[in-house]
Every structure is written in C-alpha cells, then in structure tokens.
Structure 1
Amino acid sequence: MSERAAPFYCPYCGDEDLRPEEERQGAWLCTACRRVFAVTLVGLRLPGGVR
C-alpha cells in the first residue's frame, strides 16, 4: 500500500486543520466542521476520450 497524500483543506468548509481519521483507512477529520471525508482517485482521462 502506498503512502497517502494529505489534502490541504476541507472540501466542505475550507479549514486547514485536518487530521488523519484513525478508524477509517484513508479518511481525514476536519476539526472545524467535524466532517470525516476521503479523497480518492477515480481514474485518468487521456486526450481523445480514451480511459
């Protein structure tokens, strides 16, 4: 498993005080709005519409 990249801010409130969520792998806790979220890569879109 690879290391996770840390998000710079909460996608809901914009606050920057984020902490790794211990109960869920790859999830982050925003200490301002108390939301727990995960950022995942869906895929790449190449020129010409090929996936």
Structure 2
Amino acid sequence: MSERAAPFYCPYCGDEDLRPSEAGHGAWECAACNRAFRLSFLGLLASGLTRGDRDDHDG
C-alpha cells in the first residue's frame, strides 16, 4: 500500500514549510505561521452532480 499524498502549501498562509505533526494521522504543522491543521478525506460527491448544478448554488 502506498503512502497518502502530503500537502504542498499551508491552507492558512500558503507557505511550503510544512512538517508532519505528532498529533496523529493527517496532522501537519506550518513553521511559517505556527499553525497546526488536520487533513481528512470526506467522501465522494454524488454521481448526479454536474458543474451547472454547483454554479446554481453560488448565489
């Protein structure tokens, strides 16, 4: 089994100085902005969803 992909950028500041956190699986630390965050997979989108359907909900 292969490892999961690592994030390339911090979701808060956009910096690339990320390290795995000791907080557990999917947890990362950004040395630039001193934030910790966790990544997780939520699931697949419904198969009936189309691009036009998403645009209708943008307000």
Whether TM-score is above 0.5 comes out as: yes
Please name the residue that 2:22 is paired with. 22
Distance 2:34 2:12 in 1: 10
Q: Which runs of 4+ in 1 moved over 3 A?
A: none
More helix by share: 2
Cα displacement string for residues 13-48 of structure 1 (whole angstroms, at most 9, x for unaligned residues): 000000000133320000000100011111001321
% identical aligned pairs: 65
**Higher Cα radius of gyration:** 2
Cα RMSD over matched residues?
Answer: 1.9
**Quick check: 1:18–1:30 contact (8 Å CA) kept in 2?**
yes
TM-score by length of 1: 0.77
TM-score by length of 2: 0.68
Distance 1:38 1:12 in 2: 12
